[in-house]
Structure 1
């Protein structure tokens, strides 16, 4: 087995350890996101079954992204210490437990607790980025990171199709329709557990072996030759800029898509099924959009070094903010959907571009840095959800009070209009904040030597791989 990093993303070359790792880690990530948001298609059933109030429903959304913050901060440090193989295996096995338990909850409190702990499997993103970062050469690492993350993110959209199909299957086997959502979550949890066993048995920490064996032999890989602590990553200002950048792209994507079904119905009077299918189609853009962000990050890296990656990241993030701000003012369905397409494309490209920069901040602490930056996404989702919840709750309450006594339909219409206006103003504000963060991204600086080291590392690895292939 060659210990050379892959210099291209040859997806069908299963003899290559980096490519096998890419596929396994992407599938694991997909399953984690599938289970993490698996309950979303069943929320109307859950509300009816458990008697959730509107406030409890919003709180479940907030809790689902809150737990991930802590898990991502911790998992990055653990990856640096124990390696991605053990971390991913344990995350999948332990993360499956609350997913399975969710199928047995009987009270709103139990439901909220489970949603919080299920959020921990969202830390899978950090391990995926870590594992691909140490398997691919600098010239392709951005594309590899973006593609694995994008395909993993598909799990958060594919559950809109997959979970109802699982529910239909269990009903066909004799389960009560009212209990189908419970069986579906149990099945999703079991699949995650089994994937944990697959990850343990069929992956390897690095190209040269597993951390445990390398430590025992005194042959830790180059990325671990110095013991760089978590605190050193914390002290690097560039890490925190990227933290806010990821909050402004992935965090906003989570919240926007989480509220978009209702927004499209309230603003453009779309049917629930139509609105849901539109949101699903945008989530499925992760198949290519995030990869484009990584690809252009790598392209600008070749043209202008690491600084080129930063410039592209700032530009695509600014475009995302502009598109969201413009979308918030749209009143026509054609213009609105067109702007939403551009927002979806730019926000996912910004996510890919972010992790085309991360591996170059400090190659000896990729896990810790990935964890901090990844946590930023969930902090952004948490803060955006709090903002939209507060605006919407106040506006809806005022609308209900003002239209009291006018009939149920009139009250419902007033409530929908108030919610639409409140969320629209929230989107506009968030779009402005994203633009500010984009400008702040330009403050990320790298020493000139960083570009030279990167190019030398790529040249050496490419020459070595070419020699190995010719032999």
Structure 2
């Protein structure tokens, strides 16, 4: 852990790690969102139907849910340096494949595989936590998350113009391929310039890679319950592709997917049992215990924060276009104000957490989140456009600051399992986005915003069960000696 002064404009020591981390995250989000800004160009070039385009959008997020869990586990086991570098390099391959696809099937496979790059976020959470002390951690994680997350907005701003600059029907292909090349090159830069911990520090690894450890019988059951929504939402995605949805998959294929997900959950539960069965015969020493309810609360909050952000970013241009009769270009520019707030809001949530405490900050921001979405539900065509934009930006502040506050807390639960915890919490963000967008397909814009507000209220209520991280985390070195990591 590097206890030197936090100097944002430095590029040495821990600040070098922070800057390289957010750039890596930024690149993953540029690639993950390099399709939506050029959607119309892709549709025309490949001769796709509207239903096929919708299918590609669904496939783009489908794999991210299990990927965040897996990448979190790999990060804890193999270290952020190797995992982030490998992810950037390997995911450049489906990016190139999408850039030069000449059929819907090729594009669909590429977009499905590219969902994996959306898991890159969790790697940096563990890496940053290794380099920054607890009193700087929220600020560092907020900058990492906020500046990296801006990659989605950067893609929207730059890729269409870049495609036009290349010119011709294949301009979008070259713009997309350029993002893949950027990922490949940066994977080498990252690997050569990053270490998992400061010199002399120990990188604590979990005892098991196959499942998350818990430290009580009640938490064992709680973990199994919290895994259900991650599998259920994949079933929901399958339903959206079924004849009842966009009719991409046959009824038989969808039933097979349901059966496969059920079998996979049961296998997952078996792994959880194998990793944790000793807690039923031998109590865990108090010094090594942690409370899984801390993870569960953060999961619910990230469902409401990042889940709503992904959903709202997807629908906001259409909302402004329909509500205020704007052109698609103008609606896109107006809606971008929501994502633009990430540069300041997410770091702001981390800074507030460092200064005023994790729980209090989350309580205030979650309450603001509920009020913000309730206000968005009031927006209609009679409002001045500037006031509607102001409401969206105010709501966005609480959403993204809340995300920063969530991940200011994640690394303070159990150090050796930070990747796994971040992976599960991150996955819940994607679960939220799928649930919210599915609800939107059945209800009005106003009801959609009210639903998010209600889930924020639920998140606020769960916060009363969360405990402010205090004291120290106990971790055991390979030689048997004990290291105490301060969290307050």
The TM-score with structure 1 as length reference comes to 0.80
The whole-number CA distance in structure 2 between the counterparts of 1:28 and 1:448 is 31
Distance of 2:87 and 2:415 partners within structure 1:
24
Structure 1 CA distance, aligned partners of 2:485 and 2:132?
Answer: 11
What is the aligned partner in structure 2 of residue 343 from structure 1?
A: 395
Deviation at 1:92, TM superposition (A): 0.3
Distance 1:451 1:363, change over 3 A: closer
How many angstroms does 1:423 deviate by? 2.5
For residues 318-348 of structure 1, the C-alpha deviation after alignment (integer angstroms, 9 at most, x for no partner) is 2112211221221112432221111111101
Partner of 2:420 in structure 1? 368
Using the TM superposition, name which of 104-113 and 433-442 deviates more: 104-113
Given the alignment, which residue of 377, 383, 387 partners 1:328?
Answer: 377
- Output the CA distance in 1 between the equivalents of 2:208 and 2:409: 19
Partner SS state of residue 208, structure 1: coil
CA distance in 1, matches of 2:21, 2:450: 36
What SS does the corresponding residue of 2:100 show, helix, strand or coil? coil
Report deviation, 1:449: 4.2
Of residues 341, 348, 354, the one that matches 1:285 is 341
C-alpha distance 8-352 of structure 1, shift in aligned 2 (>3 A) = farther
| Superposed displacement of residue 298, structure 1 | 0.6
Match of 2:51 in 1: 55
Task: Tell me the CA shift for residue 150 of structure 1.
Answer: 0.5
SS of the aligned residue for 2:370 comes to: helix
Does 1:24 pair with 2:20? yes
**Aligned pairs (5 A) from 1:440-455:** 440-445=462-467, 449-450=471-472
From the superposition, tell whether residues 153 and 447 of structure 1 become closer, same or farther in structure 2 (CA, over 3 Å): closer
- Give, in angstroms, the shift of residue 225 of structure 1: 7.1
Name the SS of the counterpart of 1:205 in structure 2. Answer: coil
Q: C-alpha distance in 1, partners of 2:49/2:472? A: 53
Q: What CA RMSD, in Å, does the superposition of the two structures yield over aligned residues?
A: 2.3
Give CA deviations for 1:171-211 in whole Å, capped at 9, x if unaligned.
2xxxxx211111111111111011111111111111137xx
Q: Using a 3 Å threshold, how does the CA distance of structure 1 residues 226 and 112 change in structure 2: closer, same or farther? A: closer
What does residue 122 of structure 1 align with? Answer: 118
Kindly provide the CA deviation profile for residues 43-96 of structure 1, in whole angstroms up to 9, marking residues without a partner as x. Answer: 112222334333333332222222111111001111111100000011001111
Which residue does 1:91 correspond to in 2? 87
Matches within 5 A, 1:200-219: 200-208=191-199
> What residue is the counterpart of 1:389 in the other structure?
441
**1:297, distance to aligned residue in structure 2 (A):** 0.6
Going from structure 1 to structure 2, the CA distance change for 1:388 and 1:103 (only over 3 Å counts) comes to same
> Distance between the aligned counterparts of 1:279 and 1:183, measured in 2?
26
Q: Which residue of 1 aligns with 2:143?
A: 147
- Residue 106 of structure 2 corresponds to 110
- Post-superposition offset of 1:438: 2.0
Counterpart of 2:449? 427
Between the aligned partners of 1:387 and 1:459, the Cα distance in structure 2 is 39
Structure 2: tracts of 5 or more residues without a match: 215-219, 224-291, 476-483
The Cα of 1:451 is off from its aligned counterpart by 9.5
Partner of 2:213: 232
Displacement, 1:228? Answer: 6.5
Q: Secondary structure at the match of 1:227?
A: coil
Whole-angstrom distance in 2 between the partners of 1:34 and 1:90: 17
The 8 Å contact of residues 7 and 140 in structure 1, kept in 2 or not, is answered as no
- 3-state secondary structure, aligned to 1:293: helix
Residue 164 of structure 1 pairs with residue 216 of structure 2: no
Offset at residue 29 of structure 1 (A): 0.8
Q: Is the 8 A contact 2:86 2:187 kept in 1?
A: yes
Query: Which residue is equivalent to 2:12?
Result: 15
Aligned-pair distance for 1:256? 0.2
Any idea what SS the aligned residue of 2:213 has? helix
Counterpart contact for 1:7–1:137, Cα < 8 Å: no
